[in-house]
Amino acid sequence: MLFGKKQEITNTETTVYARAKINLTLDVTGKREDGYHTVKMVMQSVALHDEVRVTVTHGEKKPRGIVVRCNLPYLPVDERNLAYRAAELFYESTGILLETCEIHIEKRIPVAAGLAGGSADAAAVLRALASLHAAGLTDEELCAMGLKLGADVPFCLRGGTMLAEGIGEELSALPDMPHCWVVLCKPPFAVSTKEVYQAIDAVDIRQRPDTAGMLKALDRGDFAGVCRRLSNVMELVTAAKRRQIGEIKEFLAENGANGTLMSGSGPTVYGLFSDEGRAKTAAKMLGRRFADTFLTETV
Ligand SMILES: C[C@](O)(CO)[C@H](O)COP(=O)(O)OP(=O)(O)OC[C@H]1O[C@@H](n2ccc(N)nc2=O)[C@H](O)[C@@H]1O
Ligand SMILES: Nc1ncnc2c1ncn2[C@@H]1O[C@H](COP(=O)(O)OP(=O)(O)OP(=O)(O)O)[C@@H](O)[C@H]1O
């Protein structure tokens, strides 16, 4: 008889930091038959992160399934959320029995900003579930899973300083970028990555990033050399449409940034600073005009 017998309840929980990325270089080198573009880009993780808490519950009287919660009320929490899709894909591809998987996203990375916020959350969910279920997946297996969710997810799984080729999934680890302070500023509009990739097909790209030079600068640990070579062909699309991109870059440069660039498809613009004080002051001043301004650092 079960009366009086304690039901076994096991909750397993972990919290993963989902870090934002910036692009130090971004070149679009071609287009595949499936419409995806080939790229060559140097990517860098920064300390700004979402906090992704994943709880897997066994044996409790809860409905089976994936539940996503988020502090931002306007973000979808169903299949449209990349974190939800990451969990779904994890259970489908591993064959692990899905009981209750609860995901809480404390969102700090601005949305649709060129900082890979959604991809970072997806990567965090894959890492969390692989660890909670002791799934024994290799990094390669996790990255292959991540790529099905988005081109930036494999990088978000690895992090650090990386050269990304293919459509973003062929990753080579680079020497860590010399530590610096990063001021991120997102003007108040969102950008669709898909539309920027579509628009770039019609652009005559005359000046491409010096990726080889960037790799050499990173090898030498040459911060000034890195700053001189910051370059993103997507500025040709996004900055051409929105003057605020250029204005923010100018403001950052005038206020002590050693280098400035738009990240990914935009619209976030960043400034790299060797001097923390100058970075703080620039962030404070920009923050008065643009609410989505953050002071962070490379990791
Ligand atoms: C711009 C970057 O952020 C630079 O790091 C990434 O390349 C974007 O990666 P992402 O947001 O993870 O991209 P996905 O979610 O896979 O794709 C969104 C859309 O962007 C386009 N896309 C994306 C990546 C790529 N290499 N070529 C593309 O043409 C595709 O039309 C796709 O439908
Ligand atoms: N967990 C999530 N966090 C943020 N956005 C999400 C998430 N899941 C789905 N989305 C949707 O994805 C779209 C892109 O958001 P995201 O913040 O990832 O863009 P991004 O930073 O420009 O990405 P990338 O730099 O990889 O192109 C948004 O319109 C948003 O509604």
Please name the residue whose Cα sits nearest to atom 31 of ligand 2.
75
In this prediction, residue 58 carries a pLDDT of 80
By most ligand atoms within 8 Å of CB, the mutation choice from 89, 103, 111 for ligand 2 is 111
Query: Closest ligand 2 atom, CA of 193?
Result: 27
CB of 145 closer than 8 Å to CB of 130 = no
pTM of the predicted protein model: 0.96
In this prediction, residue 2 carries a pLDDT of 41
Please name the residue whose Cα sits nearest to atom 16 of ligand 2.
112
Query: Closest ligand 2 atom, CA of 151?
Result: 26
Rounded Cα–Cα distance for residues 14 and 244 (Å): 39
Rounded Cα–Cα distance for residues 72 and 85 (Å): 18
Establish whether residue 38 lines the binding site of ligand 2, counting it when its CB lies within 6 angstroms of any ligand atom: no
5 pLDDT higher than 60: no
Token digits of residue 9? 């309840």
Tell me if 182 is assigned to a ligand binding site. no
Tell me if 126 is assigned to a ligand binding site. no
Rounded Cα–Cα distance for residues 120 and 194 (Å): 18
CATH number where 197 lies: 3.30.70.890
How many CB atoms lie under 10 A from the CB of residue 205?
A: 11
End-of-domain residue from the set 145, 173, 201: 173
User: In terms of domains, do 116 and 61 share one?
Assistant: yes
Tell me if 110 is assigned to a ligand binding site. yes
Domain housing 77 = 11-173
ipTM: 0.97
In this prediction, residue 249 carries a pLDDT of 98
User: In terms of domains, do 239 and 167 share one?
Assistant: no
End-of-domain residue from the set 173, 198, 217: 173
The predicted-structure confidence for 142-189, as pLDDT tens digits, reads as follows 999 999 999 999 999 999 999 999 999 999 999 999 999 999 999 999
Rounded Cα–Cα distance for residues 249 and 267 (Å): 11
